[in-house]
């Protein structure tokens, strides 16, 4: 384990940025977001960013290829440019676990998504333990340890120092390159912080929320529940929950004609939209209730059924904070369990 005093944090960032791009969570008018570090970029005091680190590996919109046509001849041009070496500093435990959810979708079945794969290979994640979790956090419900996040380098920030522990080959190489500005450290301060974080997590409003009622094999139990009609009644279908969610992976592929050919691109889509997966015959889910049900059944039943019990929610709390009608996965879980008390 290595450490550096907090008053030398900019020195650390500058050293990392010498050989690759560095992104840190920084304040903006829209809220905290990951920003490319330059001298003077300040680390936010907010717990979480408006959106997670998914954007770095699965962008909201990206060009896939280009077609040039001359008569009946079509030339396919690979226009990808996702070869930047980059480091993400300050990712929270929920967002790092979200990457495992996305890996299962994009990498663990043939053919793999090469666009996503290239970015994963070029990116290094420096996670940061959640010293002060907030009331909307419930990552512990899904077995995520906010005190000990995953990542290539796991960081803990105390009152006076940043502690760093490499846990992957990429992380070890990066931390070794920082040896001239960091020093060896024991684990005492980190162990004390971990204990404090765990204690704070037990006092959060959603600390007792469990997934015991959900998981694979529960489709028949929940699919026709009358609760779906009640829960979806006020849903606006705006898709906000899907766009701030660090694990949602739905996308659409479209072609755009330019002056010298056609560009094919993909962009995020949402199962909450009425046009989602619409085909010539129409849409398979015509009501808001059906679309609403699809989103939460996927998170709580379908995904774990196909991914060894892993849920497609990481308890980051963004949907609790951002939904305009205050509908979220916690209310859905409580209602389906029959324990909804109208809170949260």
227 and 166 housed in the same domain: no
Task: For residues 104 and 142, give the distance between their C-alpha atoms in angstroms, rounded to a whole number.
Answer: 16
140 and 235 housed in the same domain: no
76 and 176 housed in the same domain: yes
- Mean of the pLDDT values across residues 159-180? 97
177 and 87 housed in the same domain: yes
pLDDT at 339 over 90: no
Task: For residues 17 and 236, give the distance between their C-alpha atoms in angstroms, rounded to a whole number.
Answer: 42
pLDDT at 222 over 70: yes
Task: For residues 149 and 52, give the distance between their C-alpha atoms in angstroms, rounded to a whole number.
Answer: 14
176 and 259 housed in the same domain: no
pLDDT at 75 over 50: yes
Read off the pLDDT of residues 206-218 as tens digits, 9 standing for 90 and up: 999 999 999 999 9
188 and 267 housed in the same domain: no
- Mean of the pLDDT values across residues 83-106? 96
134 and 160 housed in the same domain: yes
Read off the pLDDT of residues 118-157 as tens digits, 9 standing for 90 and up: 999 999 999 999 999 999 999 999 999 999 999 999 999 9
Read off the pLDDT of residues 258-305 as tens digits, 9 standing for 90 and up: 888 899 999 998 888 877 766 656 556 678 889 899 999 999 999 999
Read off the pLDDT of residues 241-260 as tens digits, 9 standing for 90 and up: 999 999 999 999 999 988 88
Written as six digits, the tokens of 337 are 């369990």
264 and 118 housed in the same domain: no
Domain membership of residue 213 (yes or no) is no
Indicate the pLDDT class of residue 50, thresholds 50, 70 and 90: very high
Task: For residues 304 and 242, give the distance between their C-alpha atoms in angstroms, rounded to a whole number.
Answer: 18
276 and 198 housed in the same domain: no
Q: Alpha-carbon dihedral of residues 217, 221, 222, 227, nearest 10 degrees?
A: -160
* Total-model pTM: 0.91
Length, in residues, of the chain? 344
pLDDT at 80 over 70: yes
190 and 117 housed in the same domain: yes
Domain membership of residue 7 (yes or no) is yes
228 and 197 housed in the same domain: no
274 and 185 housed in the same domain: no
Domain membership of residue 343 (yes or no) is no
- Mean of the pLDDT values across residues 307-322? 96
**What is residue 261's DSSP assignment?**
E
Domain membership of residue 208 (yes or no) is no
Domain membership of residue 195 (yes or no) is yes
Structural domain of 17: 2-202
**pLDDT given for residue 116 in this prediction:** 95
Helix (H, G, I), strand (E, B) or coil at 211: coil
Domain membership of residue 52 (yes or no) is yes
Q: What's the mean per-residue pLDDT of the chain?
A: 92
Strands (E), 224-332: 251-258, 261-268
Q: How many domains does the chain have?
A: 2
Which of 139, 172, 202 is at the close of a domain? 202
Which of 202, 234, 261 is at the close of a domain? 202
Residue 275 CB partners (closer than 8 Å, separation 6+):
283
């Amino acid at each position: 384990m290595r450490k550096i005093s907090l008053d030398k944090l900019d020195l650390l960032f500058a050293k990392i940025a010498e050989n690759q791009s560095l992104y840190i969570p920084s304040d903006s008018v829209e809220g905290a977001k990951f920003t490319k570090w330059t001298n003077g970029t300040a680390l936010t005091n907010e717990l979480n960013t408006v959106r997670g680190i998914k954007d770095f590996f699965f962008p909201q919109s990206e060009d896939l290829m280009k077609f040039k046509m001359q008569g009946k001849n079509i030339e396919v041009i690979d226009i990808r440019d996702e070869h930047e070496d980059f480091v993400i500093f300050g990712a929270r435990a929920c967002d790092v676990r979200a990457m495992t959810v996305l890996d299962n979708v994009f990498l663990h079945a043939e053919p793999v998504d090469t666009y996503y794969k290239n970015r994963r290979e070029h990116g290094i994640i420096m996670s940061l333990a959640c010293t002060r979790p907030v009331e909307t956090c419930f990552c512990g419900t899904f077995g995520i340890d906010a005190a000990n996040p995953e990542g290539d380098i796991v960081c803990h920030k105390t009152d006076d120092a940043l502690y760093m522990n490499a846990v992957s080959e990429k992380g070890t190489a990066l931390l070794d390159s920082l040896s001239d500005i960091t020093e060896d450290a024991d684990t005492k301060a980190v162990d004390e912080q971990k204990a404090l974080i765990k204690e704070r997590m037990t006092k959060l409003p959603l600390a007792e929320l469990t997934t015991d009622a959900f998981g694979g094999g529960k489709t028949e139990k929940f699919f026709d529940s009358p609760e779906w009609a009640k829960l979806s009644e006020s849903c606006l279908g705006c898709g906000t929950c899907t766009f701030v969610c660090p694990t949602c992976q739905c996308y659409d592929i479209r072609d755009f004609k330019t002056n010298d050919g056609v560009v094919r691109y993909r962009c995020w889509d949402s199962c909450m939209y009425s046009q989602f997966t619409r085909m010539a015959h129409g849409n398979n889910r015509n009501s808001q209730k059906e679309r609403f049900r699809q989103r939460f059944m996927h998170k709580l039943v379908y995904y774990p059924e196909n991914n060894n019990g892993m849920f497609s929610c990481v308890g980051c709390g963004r949907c609790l904070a951002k939904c305009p009608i205050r509908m979220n996965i916690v209310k859905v879980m409580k209602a389906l369990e029959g324990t909804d008390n109208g809170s949260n």
